[in-house]
Amino acid sequence: MFYREAGQFKTSYAADQQLLPIPMDRVFVIAVVLIAIFVVPVVGSQYWLESILLPVLILSIAALGLNILTGYCGQLSLGTGGFMAAGAYMSYKIATNMPEFMPVWVPILGGGLFAASIGVIFGLPSLRIKGFYLAVATLAAQFFLLWLFQKVPWFVNYSISGVPSAPPETILGFYVTGASASPEAKYLFVLAFVIVLALLARNMVRSRIGRSWMAIRDMDIAAELIGIKPLQTKLTAFAISSFYCGVAGALWSFCYINTVEPTAFDIERSFQVLFMIIVGGLGSVLGSFFGAAFIFLLPILLNNVPGWFGLQLATDVVSHLEFMVFGAAIIFFLIVEPHGLARLWQIAKEKLRLWPFPH
């Protein structure tokens, strides 16, 4: 009734090909972005900004990256944590050694580029292997990279503890990284990355490069026959995916945990991000955000829900329940809704089109 796609006629190719062809969608998305920029930092409490929105947004970037590789290009990776660590450590190295006048986003992007180059190296075996063979190859990246960053003191400027704190950097006089930054500044800083990277991803997947990823995913031999080069396609997917993961890792260290430490990027993180894209929706930009929010918020919810009913559960019981719910959710989504929460969102929109009439 209120949400209609009919009766909207396009008179130019540009109008037909724009990112959000339906005005209602466009208005909605722009409104969400504007609210996120202007309203949320004002009304959000410190807890919401710092402990919920910040990590969810950063993990969304990582999920976006993995979704490009796994959801769009079909190459399963269990090395997300390793690539995030690469971004975090390289950003730290650049941030602490760059001249004063360089803006703060330089080390973050530098970390992303470093992660991208590492991703290409570990993506090389994908030319000969696929599926779970590749999963094992990316596990090598996970374990090797974490070991490397722990054992080579160069990355942490020979810091004695090996766990340096994130350097405080400013934009226009406001601290945006490190422990001294205000939650609002950090939130806006991260949000800027999220908006740019999400827009980029959304455009990439509907352009030539995204289409060739999907062709490789759906049937690599057929894709090769119609002239898509598997070498370039897979390696660009690895590079861009690792770039996203690297940026996410850098932001995670700089803005969320405020230290550069290997335990933040262990294999649990890789699995967490993988679960995000399975639950959120493989091959969906929007799904990456849904998945990140779902997987990150579920444990918090599980911690709080028993309290509302007057039940007191021990923390270890809750963490075990959390595992069980995750496992069950993954199996559930794979069986019932392989396209994840993003597909549920689509279904909701289709229902809304008819509402309040039955058909």
Partner 1 sequence: MEAFAGLFGIDPFDLWFFFEVLIGGLMSGVMYALVALGFVLIFKASSVFNFSQGVMVLFAALNFVGFIELGLPIWASFILTMGVMILLAFVVERVVLRPLVNQPHISLFMATIGIAIFLEGFGELIWGSNIKPLEVGIPDDVVFMGDAMIQQADLFAAAVASVLVLVLALFFHYTRIGRALRAVADDHQAALSVGIPLNTIWVIVWSVAGFVALVAGIMWGSKLGVQFSLAILALKALPVLILGGFTSIPGAIIGGLIIGAGEKLAEVYVGQMLGGAIEEWFAYIVALAFLVFRPQGLFGEKIIERV
What is the footprint of partner 1 within residues 1-60 (CB under 8 A)?
none
Cα separation, 61 vs 349, whole angstroms: 25
Judged by CB under 8 A, the stretch of 1-9, 84-92, 121-129, 300-308 that binds partner 1 is: 121-129
Residue with tokens 């329940």: 321
The correct pick among 30, 323, 348, 354 for binding partner 1 (CB under 8 A) is 323
User: Considering the rule CB under 8 A, would residue 324 count as an interface residue with partner 1?
Assistant: yes
According to the binding rule CB under 8 A, does residue 248 interact with partner 1?
no
- Provide the β-strand partners of residue 259: 165
- Which one of residues 278, 292, 295, 341 is an interface residue with partner 1 (CB under 8 A)? 278
Contact partners, residue 343, CB within 8 Å, separation at least 6: 281, 284, 287, 337
The site that binds partner 1 (CB under 8 A) totals a number of residues, namely 48
Nearest of 34, 85, 29, 96 to residue 62 by alpha carbon: 85
Q: Which stretch binds partner 1 (CB under 8 A): 31-39, 123-131, 161-169, 250-258?
A: 123-131
Among 219, 301, 317, 352, binds partner 1 (CB under 8 A): 317
Tell me: does residue 128 bind partner 1 (CB under 8 A): yes
Could you say whether residue 292 binds partner 1 (CB under 8 A)?
Answer: no
Q: Which of 116, 136, 13 is nearest to 65 (CA)?
A: 116
Burial 247-276, CB ≥16 within 10 A → b, else e: bbbbbbbbbbbbbbbbebbebebbbbbbbb
| Cα 274 from chain centroid (whole Å) | 10
| Residue with smaller CB distance to partner 1, 127 or 352 | 127
Tokens 């590079």 correspond to 239
**Closest listed residue to residue 148, CA positions, set 108, 93, 94, 110:** 93
Which one of 274, 276, 302, 341 is in contact with partner 1 (CB under 8 A)?
A: 274
Residue 189 to residue 192: CA distance in whole angstroms: 5
Residue among 192 and 321 whose Cβ is closer to partner 1: 321
Q: What is the largest CA-CA distance in the chain?
A: 68
How far apart are CB 18 and partner 1 at their closest, in Å? 33
309 φ, ψ (degrees, to nearest 5)? -95, 10
Residue 334 contacts partner 1 per CB under 8 A: yes
Structure tokens, 230: 């598997």
- 214 binds partner 1 per the rule CB under 8 A: no
Q: Are 353 and 3 in contact (CB under 8 A)?
A: yes
Q: Rounded to whole angstroms, how far apart are CA atoms 344 and 351?
A: 11
* Smallest separation (angstroms) from partner 1 to the CB of 143: 4
Q: Chain-centre distance of CA 261, in angstroms?
A: 19
- x/- binding map, residues 131-150, to partner 1, per CB under 8 A? xxx-xxx-xx--xx--x---
- The minimum distance between CB 229 and partner 1, in angstroms, equals 13
Taking CB under 8 A as the rule, does residue 213 contact partner 1?
no
322 near partner 1, rule: CB under 8 A? yes
Residues that bind partner 1 (CB under 8 A): 74, 76, 124-125, 127-133, 135-137, 139-140, 143-144, 147, 151-152, 220-221, 224, 230, 267, 271, 274-275, 278, 316-317, 319-331, 334-335, 338
